[in-house]
């Protein structure tokens, strides 16, 4: 796959700087998407304009120790219990129960509910599907759908020249969609989006054959290994590359 072309091709694109032209729909839509993505990144602690270390940014993005536990423990509990007992109901109940405990703990602490509540909803929905079909491997189907949606979004955004990462960074750095007129930034955001699309695709490529083979233990293990251990390094790379693009704002 080649990188987006600049020069003559860029001239065919609509104007994409700060204020939108009168009646211009594209800039307004892109600004709204950019703002939404940027705010999500900022809440996750990923604001390249802030003077924080890469390690701190990555740690904030994964939610610290609490975020790691919320992400890993429900899946790990299901994997261990089902491998040892083959009891689907018990394994699912403990997994969803742990997600519920994390959500309640955040409510008591009056901290952000986003991660824990999202994990609870995902765990409950996945468990419901597995109980309905009676197949333990169906507990992973929702994860396949999520990876497919995220991977497709990153890939399509890169191919059409409106990288999701570029939109988020443009909002955070206060330049809107003006980055699209800079060939270097367009190239960088293109490849970063491709890298994220590749991560989600790799999960599907590795895990789908295990799902169709009905190998629940291997499927659960690879899901854990391809979760935070792959997510954190890619966050770090993305952070470092973006900071290199905006050195003055990163000082």
pLDDT tens readout for residues 143-166: 999 999 999 999 999 999 999 999
> Is the CB of residue 178 less than 8 Å from the CB of residue 18?
yes
At 28, the pLDDT band (50, 70, 90 cuts) reads low
Count Cβ atoms below 10 Å from residue 239 Cβ, excluding itself. 22
pLDDT digits (tens, 9 = 90+) for 38-97: 777 777 667 776 777 778 888 888 888 888 898 899 999 999 999 999 999 999 999 999
Helix 141-159 with 164-172: angle, nearest 10 deg: 70
**How far is Cα 196 from Cα 192, in angstroms, rounded to an integer?**
6
pTM: 0.82
Count Cβ atoms below 10 Å from residue 219 Cβ, excluding itself. 23
> Residue 233: how many CA atoms within 13 Å on its side-chain side?
7
**How far is Cα 37 from Cα 172, in angstroms, rounded to an integer?**
9
> Is the CB of residue 242 less than 8 Å from the CB of residue 204?
no
Closest CA to 244 of 188, 197, 190, 199: 188
Chain length of the chain: 251
- What are the residue boundaries of the structural domains of the chain, listed by start? 26-250
pLDDT digits (tens, 9 = 90+) for 177-188: 899 999 999 999
Closest CA to 115 of 60, 153, 154, 50: 60
């Amino acid at each position: 796959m080649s990188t987006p072309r600049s020069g003559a091709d860029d001239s065919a694109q609509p104007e994409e700087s700060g204020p939108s032209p009168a009646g211009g729909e594209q800039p307004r839509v892109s600004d709204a998407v950019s703002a939404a993505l940027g705010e999500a990144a900022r809440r996750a602690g990923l604001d390249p304009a802030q003077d924080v270390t890469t390690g701190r940014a990555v740690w904030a993005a994964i939610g610290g120790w609490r975020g790691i536990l919320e992400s890993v423990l429900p899946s790990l509990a299901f994997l261990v219990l089902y491998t040892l007992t083959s009891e689907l109901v018990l394994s699912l109940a403990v997994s969803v129960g742990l997600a519920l405990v994390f959500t309640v703990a955040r409510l008591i602490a009056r901290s952000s509910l986003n991660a824990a509540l999202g994990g609870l909803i995902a765990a409950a929905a996945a468990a419901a599907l597995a109980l309905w079909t009676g197949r333990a491997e169906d507990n992973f189907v929702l994860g396949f759908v999520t990876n497919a949606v995220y991977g497709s979004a990153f890939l399509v955004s890169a191919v059409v020249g409106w990288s999701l990462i570029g939109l988020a960074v443009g909002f955070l750095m206060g330049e809107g969609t003006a980055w699209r007129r800079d060939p270097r930034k367009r190239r960088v955001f293109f490849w970063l989006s491709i890298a994220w699309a590749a991560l989600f695709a790799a999960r599907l490529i590795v895990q789908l054959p295990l799902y169709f083979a009905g190998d629940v233990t291997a499927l659960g293990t690879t899901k854990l290994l391809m979760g935070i251990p792959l997510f954190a390094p890619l966050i770090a790379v993305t952070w470092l590359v973006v900071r290199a693009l905006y050195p003055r704002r990163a000082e």
